[in-house]
Every structure is written in structure tokens, then in C-alpha cells.
Amino acid sequence: MLRLDREFWKVEICMSGVRLSPAVSSLKPSATLAAAAKAKELKAKGITVYDFTLGEPDFNTPENVRKAAVAAMEAGHTHYTASGGIPELKKAVCETYKRDYQLEVTPAQVLISNGAKHSIHNVLAALCGPGDEVIIPGPYWVSYSALVELAGATPVIVDTTEESGFCMSADQFRKAITPRTRLMMLNNPSNPTGATYPIDKLKALADVAVERDIMVLSDEIYEKLLYKGAEFKCFATFGPEVAKRTIIVSGVSKAYAMTGWRIGWTIGPVDAIKAMDNLQSQETSNPCSVSQYAAVEALNGPQQSVEAMRVEFEKRRNYVMGRLQPWREKFGVTFAEPGGAFYAFFNVSSRFGKPLAGGVVVNNATDFCTALLEQAHVALVTGDAFGAPGYVRLSFATSQEVIKAGLDRIEAFLAG
């Protein structure tokens, strides 16, 4: 277990002489966005790049949703809204959880924000501060540790393994708890591993949360993207004792291909939601009015497009797994099969210190990604960014053609 302590009092002076706050001076840019920007830079130079960096559906937002946005603009919904979101969207969120998970929530338990990333920031800013510890199963999504640190708290990373399907056990969770533990952050299905918790393992975590009275932030943004019979259960549905300790975060970005609209939500205890609404009212006023109306249609309208996109992601996932399988024997590449989300996460450390294509030798995943981009024009994200040295992440939320050509190139690169 790794405790990432930081020197909170340290104030750094940047090159221009502007004195930055302690919280911001140590903040790094999001590694996923940085990797995508690097790939874009090469593309702008006219180079064909096989880009697997961003976890962003390549599909257009469904037509009914786009039309609802136009209608909202025409109807004059182009002004500030209530800071915590329009009543129609809060109601749609409540109805969705009732319909999909038989979970009863009231609009006062719902906060609409500018994407799930903003929702996570709100939760951490509202609940955590200096001296608090936040348990995060690793590998973890890049922004988790950064946002915990931004809140002044300390991320406590609990490493999981391929053998466990990258799932944290109840025992690991229990052992990581200290008197300073404020929250556990769970991401199911997971970015970057695609891990999906079997319901019994999830229930065991919920039992520990109740037994030790720990709040759980359950990030369920990939809830609709499940493959090959993988199970999903909304964390708050394990009963009232679990529900009162759970804060659900989700949104429309992934399931409805609405990344650019920036709509996410938080569901939790009324007093915590009220505090986050206060914070949001000072920070951002409200989420984009037009996007909120579009999200109402996404949730209330026909759901066939969600399933159509999921089916396409599943085809891509199966293709990627079929290509990776022989790499185990051929190159010593290892991985756990993803049950959800749209990421393949594989360990390439067996190739460190040995010549890859062009005679290049690398000793870590970050250098591997840099060399792969330079030599083969394939962009992946280093596992170092997710607390998983030796691993790389490939987002298969891109076309079959790009996936095939990109994998051909990675294979040739590995072969040396």
C-alpha cells in the first residue's frame, strides 16, 4: 500500500514570477488529455496517428438528443438555471434510477454538474480536507488522485492485481482503513482496467463500508457499457445502510456519447448534496442550460442507441482481445479481460530492456508510449498515469479500421 503524502505548505514560484497557490502549483495536467493533445499535435503536422488515448465514444450524440437541444434553444432555454440543475433533469435522473435499479431517490438528493469529473471534484471538496485519507483501489483513473490532493487530502492507493481481475477485496479495503479514512472511491466498471466487480465481491465491500462506517463514492459512469455477461449493481442498492453511506456519480458522457455536453450528476444524502450545490453556485453558477435539456431527452427518450453503441463496443473489445491473446506467448504481454468500459489495459514490461522495432530499448511504460508514438505513430496512455507501472491503456472507442491498423503496428513494434 502506498500513501502519497504531499508538502502542503510548499509554495512554488513559476517562471513568470506569479506566485501560485500550494494546491495548484503541484497539480499536473490530466495525463489522458495530455496524451491526446500530443497525438493531435502530430496529426496537425499531417502525420497519420493511430490514436487510442481518449476514453471518448467516437459516435455522434444520438439524433433525438441533438434535436432536443435545438428545441431548447428555440424555446429560449439559454439563460442561467437553478445552480444545482433544472427540475426536469433531476426528475429524469430519479426516474432513471427507479426504472433501471429500483432505487428510490428524491430530487433533493440529486445535483447536476458540468460532467462527472466536476461531480467528483464537488464530492471531494465538500467531504475531504487536510488530514483526511481517501482509499482508492489501483490502478485508478488519473484524475482521482489529483482531485483528492486538490482537496488537501491524501490518496491511499490499494494495489489490485490482474489475477483478482483488478478488484479490491474486502480484506484489502478493511486493512487500508485508518481513523483518518474519510472516503473510499470505487470505479465500477473501471477506467483504466475495464474491471467489473462480481456482485458478491461488491457486496463484501459494501459490508465493510457499513461495518466501519465509511462513505463510498461510487463512480458508475461506465454502468451501461458491459460485455460478455459482466454483472453490474448500483452500489446504493445493497440496502438502506449502504445507501446512506453512498454517493453515486455518473453522467451522460459515455453511454450517450455526450462528452462535449458536460453533464454529470451526484446522488447522495440531502445535506451533502445541499453543500455541494452551495459550492457549485459559487464556482460555476450552473451546468449549461441547453445541455441539461439535451440530457433530459437522453434519459427519457428511446434507449436503442445506447444498446447499439454498446454492441459496437463489444465487437471491438472482442477483436482487441483476440489480437492480444497470442501476444501472451509471443511477447510475454499480460492482461485481464475487461468486463466493461472501453479500455484494454496490458502489461508490456516483459519487453523492457530488449530491442523493439528500430532497435529502440525502453525501461518503463512512459518511454514505451513515447517510442511507440515516435516510431509507429500509435498513441496509448502510459500506465504510470494510473498508478500501474509496466502497463499501457488502449481505448477502443474508435473505429474498427483504426483498431486493426493500430494493433498491427503495435505488434510490429513489440516484435522488434
Positions in the binding site for ligand GLU (CB under 6 A): 30, 32-33, 54-56, 117, 141-143, 191
Whole-angstrom Cα distance, residue 245 to residue 237?
Answer: 11
Nearer to ligand PMP, 142 or 414 (CB): 142
Taking the CA of residue 117 as centre, how many other CA atoms within 13 Å lie in the half-sphere pointing to its CB? 15
Looking at residues 55 to 84 of the shown chain, list those that interact with ligand PMP (rule: CB under 6 A).
Answer: 55
Grid cell in block for residue 275: 453543500
Q: List all residues 6 or more positions away from 156 whose beta carbon is below 8 Å from its beta carbon.
A: 1, 2, 3, 4, 133, 134, 135, 136, 176, 178, 181
**Is 36 a residue that touches ligand PMP (CB under 6 A)?**
no
Whole-angstrom Cα distance, residue 212 to residue 177?
Answer: 8
* Per-residue b or e along 115-152, where b marks 16 or more CB atoms closer than 10 Å to that residue's CB: bbbbbbbbbbbbbbeeebbbbbbbbbbbbbbbbbbbbb
**Which entry of ligand PMP, ligand GLU, none binds 30, CB below 5 to 8 A by partner kind?**
ligand GLU
Instruction: Confirm if 136 and 185 have CB atoms less than 8 A apart.
Output: yes
**Is 89 a residue that touches ligand PMP (CB under 6 A)?**
no
Which segment (115-123, 171-179, 204-212, 294-302) binds ligand PMP by CB under 6 A? Answer: 115-123
Which segment (113-121, 288-296, 299-307, 386-394) binds ligand PMP by CB under 6 A? Answer: 113-121
User: Among 155, 264, 301, 383, which residue interacts with ligand PMP (rule: CB under 6 A)?
Assistant: 264
User: Among 57, 137, 251, 339, which residue interacts with ligand PMP (rule: CB under 6 A)?
Assistant: 251
**Which entry of ligand GLU, ligand PMP, none binds 132, CB below 5 to 8 A by partner kind?**
none
| CB 332 to ligand GLU: min, Å | 26
**Which entry of ligand GLU, ligand PMP, none binds 33, CB below 5 to 8 A by partner kind?**
ligand GLU
Whole-angstrom Cα distance, residue 342 to residue 193?
Answer: 9
Instruction: Confirm if 320 and 210 have CB atoms less than 8 A apart.
Output: no
Instruction: Confirm if 318 and 403 have CB atoms less than 8 A apart.
Output: no
| CB 51 to ligand PMP: min, Å | 16
Positions that interact with ligand PMP (CB under 6 A): 55, 115-117, 141, 187, 191, 219, 221, 251, 253, 259, 264
